[in-house]
Amino acid sequence: MGVEILMPALSPTMTEGKLAKWLKKEGDAVKAGDVIAEIETDKATMEVEAVDEGTLTRILVPEGTENVAVNAPIAELDGGGAPKAAPAPVAAPAPVAAAPATIPAAPRAVSAEKDWGPTKTMTVREALRDAMAAEMRRDADVFLIGEEVAQYQGAYKISQGLLDEFGPKRVMDMPITEHGFTGMAVGAAFTGLKPIVEFMTFNFSMQAIDQIINSAAKTLYMSGGQLGCPIVFRGANGAASRVAAQHSQCYASWYAHCPGLKVVAPWSAADAKGLLRAAIRDPNPVIFLENEILYGHSFECPTDEDFILPIGKAKVEREGTDVTILAFSIMVGMAMQAAEKLAEQGISAEVINLRSLRPLDIDTIVASVKKTNRVVTLEEGWPFAGIGAELAMQIIEHCFDDLDAPPVRVHGLDIPMPYAANLEKLALPRLEQVVDAARSVTYR
Amino acid sequence: MAAKAPPAKRRAKSAAEQPAMGRDALLQAYRDMLLIRRFEEKAGQLYGMGLIGGFCHLYIGQEAVVVGMQAALKPGDQVITSYRDHGHMLATGMEARGVMAELTGRIGGYSRGKGGSMHMFSREKGFYGGHGIVGAQVSLGAGLAFANMYRGNDHVAVAYFGEGASNQGQVYESLNLAALFKLPCIFVIENNKYGMGTSVDRASASRDLSQNGSPWGIPGEQVDGMNVVTVHEAAQRAVAHCRAGLGPYLLEMKTYRYRGHSMSDPAKYRTREEVQKMREQHDCLETARAMLLGQGVTEAELKKLDDEVKVIVQDSADFAQESPEPPESELWTDVLLPSPGSDGAFGQGVK
């Protein structure tokens, strides 16, 4: 009986990939450990090794095939292998993406935002790269440093192609030394250069947090306005998938706490592109919180070469009248899904994509609350002193009398992130919690 | 612990053999050191009168280091240091008035009264602070050097830090980065033997801090930091190395602070005799004075400098007391710079 070789999951967030090349052909003998194929994931090209011995009897997916789903059979092996299906190198089943791969097509362009004209579909990853490339073309003082940003083309492929276009002086690989290279970048920014510092993930920014807060954020004030720090710190923030506590946390509240910083958290490709361009042009230090799971998600994004979004302005992603859901980053997608569900139940939810946490667009929030009189906040991060807590307090300060119910927070559980798939799922906000929260504040 | 004389410098010849500083240059150095000494004495007085608050770290004893280094730099070069920074500011040519008024927290201070003793800056003079976090200025200094490399100019950055800071992880990260990218950065360890109350012997397993960059191939020298001429000679070698594009350089200045770590430090961790011996036998001002007299400078000329410096310092102290405190409106300025295209309509956080 033959053994099926399955499309392997080669990264925590991979759901599909391209079968780039077969290195064995039908009829070839295969030993365990032989490289049999090359697969392109959303991040890199990886080799697939055989785990069983035998003869490759049939290739089910020809090379060059794109979008092959994880765990789909790609070939059959005949031989001494155990008579059960064995996925190639990775034993774990493909993770279920924590967020929907398809974004609800619900009413989108409803805010009073400037109409930027024609759009095209692109991933958040492409939008981030395009933003950096556009700003680097525009201003020779802009450069990118970080771990694996140059020759490796980015640990998450965000900087793909930038080394080729801009050369090694402007796209520089750093040793694994966040404290040192962050301080170095801040020092360079004090002279007027405009570094983009990529943290492979924001978890590693804690190694450098003194330079970010004590040096980048405070020096303008401490120098009586003499020494600005035009710098962008960007990278993946929040939970990815099955990477446990040290690699899964949201830094929104940490950084948004600090005066002297701006903190931005995009959701869509348009957010990513427009806000990153604004962040690079901003004369202040900007914390730019991306999300690994969103990198591969596609959205419509304006094609206008001048497209840019203002930092500090929220976007009403969906208009509604009964309850306001406030979210940022990947949770905007969940809020949109919740709004769909709520609509089916006769509740009209307004979804606000905060985009910027500091400065916070309190005006847009207050206008919405004055209309709906009910608020649900949604974030992946911890509740204590979190963004939801701040939102609730500011709403109370600005429009307490407009509230018909106490605000409700939906958030990650107040625990380090567990590894086990079932526990991780429980630790993060779930769609039904958002729906329930909206029902509770509307007393339905 | 018995006081030891600073060890002989590794490479530099004595001042008598090699007049790296001519008469005029030495006279200027003497005057600059004297200004720092008198300025710091006055700051100590004002602190005692309650006019200066918070932390105040005096540079008395170490003046030769920064004056000898600065004399080897040119306009456009950058300097960055820690919180013991008054001497560095005066050496870069920043006005005594502005420094003293910052110490008293007045609007006439370099940071409009918002930085204080440890946080002053002058882009014009190439002085990038004034940093309160031990060791942070070393990575920042590497960044100043990085900017020179990026811009393709021949400027050098000088990052000063103490022997206490030399144990910080980011210092080693910065040495690696500077060597890796050949940054024009001079790392100057001002080894005054005590990180607050902990002697270098109790804090560092390295017995020769000048070699702390050796794993990365950074040339290092131990220098008699109490002698402005030997400091200047070493500075010239370091500057030439960096300007030639050969990468970073490390100087360990053997120096000594006469006062406590800060104003509130009783300095019980060392003997009165140790301090006295350094003052009597190795004082940078007395050493320079003797050299100048040996070169035919008259007591009258030195007295004239003394008088000039006293006037500057007294004027700075007067200014620092006359300048008003910052208005309340200063609370909210300089938190963020205005963004291009911002119409000011966006939320500005919590007020």
Same domain, A54 and A26: yes
Same domain, A219 and A291: yes
Please check whether residue A110 lies inside any domain of the structure. Answer: no
Residues of A involved in catalysis: 178, 247
Please check whether residue A125 lies inside any domain of the structure. Answer: yes
| Residues 149-208 (A) with a CB less than 8 A from some CB of B | 169, 172, 174-175, 177, 179-193
Look at residue B225 and tell me whether its pLDDT is greater than 60.
yes
Whichever domain contains A288, its CATH number is 3.40.50.970
Average model confidence (pLDDT) for chain B? 92
Same domain, A331 and A298: no
Inter-chain residue contact A187 with B144, CB threshold 8 Å: yes
Same domain, A344 and A201: no
pLDDT in tens, B231-275: 999 999 999 999 999 999 999 999 999 999 988 888 889 999 999
Domain boundary among A272, A302, A332: A302
Interface predicted TM-score (ipTM) = 0.91
Same domain, A138 and A210: yes
Please check whether residue A15 lies inside any domain of the structure. Answer: yes
**pLDDT of the residue at A91:** 38
Same domain, A324 and A260: no
Closest CB to B349 among A189, A284, A358: A358
Answer with the residue of higher pLDDT: B51 or A94: B51
**pLDDT of the residue at A5:** 86
**pLDDT of the residue at A83:** 40
Same domain, A288 and A336: no
**pLDDT of the residue at A87:** 40
Look up residue B7 and give its DSSP letter. Answer: P
Tell me the residue range of the domain where A54 lies. Answer: 3-81
- Asked if residue A75 lies in contact with residue A5, where contact means CB atoms within 8 angstroms, the answer is yes
Domains belonging to chain B, first-starting first, are 23-329 (3.40.50.970)
> Into how many domains does chain A fold?
3
Domain boundary among A81, A105, A129: A81
Mean pLDDT across B33-59 = 96
Inter-chain residue contact A284 with B78, CB threshold 8 Å: no
Contact residues, chain A, for B173 at CB < 8 Å: 177, 179-181, 183
Q: Is the dihedral of CA A109, A115, A118, A121 positive or negative?
A: negative
pLDDT in tens, A69-109: 888 889 888 864 444 444 444 433 343 334 434 444 444 33
Residue A431, CA atoms < 13 Å, CB-side half-sphere: 12
**pLDDT of the residue at A151:** 97
Whichever domain contains A330, its CATH number is 3.40.50.920
Instruction: Name the residue in chain A with its Cα closest to that of B148.
Output: A188
Instruction: Name the residue in chain A with its Cα closest to that of B339.
Output: A282
Same domain, A156 and A48: no
The neighbouring-strand residues paired with A69 are A16
The two structure tokens encoding residue B167: 């144990």
Give the other-Cβ count within 10 Å of B345's Cβ.
11
The two structure tokens encoding residue B122: 């002058």
**pLDDT of the residue at A412:** 98
Give the pLDDT of chain A (444 residues) as one tens digit per residue.
578 888 887 776 778 888 989 999 988 988 877 888 888 877 677 778 777 788 888 899 999 998 898 888 898 888 644 444 444 444 333 433 344 344 444 443 344 578 999 999 999 999 999 999 999 999 999 999 999 999 999 999 999 999 999 999 999 999 999 999 999 999 999 999 999 999 999 999 999 999 999 999 999 999 999 999 999 999 999 999 899 999 999 999 999 999 999 999 999 999 999 999 999 999 999 999 999 999 999 999 999 999 999 999 999 999 999 999 999 999 999 999 999 999 999 999 999 999 999 999 999 999 999 999 999 999 999 999 999 999 999 999 999 999 999 999 999 999 999 999 999 999 999 999 999 999 999 998
The neighbouring-strand residues paired with A194 are A142
Sheet strands (E) in A291-415:
298-302, 315-318, 323-327, 349-353, 356-358, 375-378, 408-410
Same domain, A241 and A349: no
DSSP for B106-136? -TTSTTTTSS-TT---BTTTTEEEE--STTH
Contact residues, chain B, for A259 at CB < 8 Å: 335, 349
Mean pLDDT across B48-72 = 96
Closest CB to A180 among B111, B174, B341: B174
Q: Exposed, middle or buried, A113 (CB in 10 Å: 0-12/13-18/19+)? A: middle
Inter-chain residue contact B140 with A262, CB threshold 8 Å: no
Please check whether residue A161 lies inside any domain of the structure. Answer: yes
Look at residue B68 and tell me whether its pLDDT is greater than 90.
yes
Same domain, A156 and A71: no
Query: How many contacts (CB atoms, under 8 Å) link A and B?
Result: 174
Same domain, A292 and A338: no
- pTM greater than 0.80: yes
Contact residues, chain B, for A190 at CB < 8 Å: 128, 140, 143-144
Look up residue B9 and give its DSSP letter. Answer: P
Same domain, A222 and A365: no
Closest CA to B51 of B336, B323, B337: B323
| Residues 140-179 (B) with a CB less than 8 A from some CB of A | 140-144, 146-147, 150-151, 169-170, 173-174, 176-177
Look up residue B12 and give its DSSP letter. Answer: P
A81 touches chain B (CB under 8 A): no
Mean pLDDT across B68-90 = 98
Whichever domain contains A49, its CATH number is 2.40.50.100
Query: How confident is residue B8, by pLDDT bands cut at 50, 70 and 90?
Result: very low
Mutation for B interface: A222, A229, A261, A263, most B CBs within 10 A = A222
Closest CB to B339 among A179, A223, A282: A282
Query: How confident is residue B19, by pLDDT bands cut at 50, 70 and 90?
Result: low
Please check whether residue A150 lies inside any domain of the structure. Answer: yes
Domain boundary among A34, A64, A81: A81
B346 touches chain A (CB under 8 A): yes
Closest CB to B341 among A180, A310, A356: A310
B133 touches chain A (CB under 8 A): yes
Please check whether residue A101 lies inside any domain of the structure. Answer: no
Please check whether residue A94 lies inside any domain of the structure. Answer: no
Question: How far does the CA of residue A215 sit from the closest CA of chain B (Å)?
Answer: 8
Instruction: Name the residue in chain A with its Cα closest to that of B185.
Output: A184
**pLDDT of the residue at B271:** 93
| Residues 246-265 (A) with a CB less than 8 A from some CB of B | 259-260, 262
Please check whether residue A212 lies inside any domain of the structure. Answer: yes
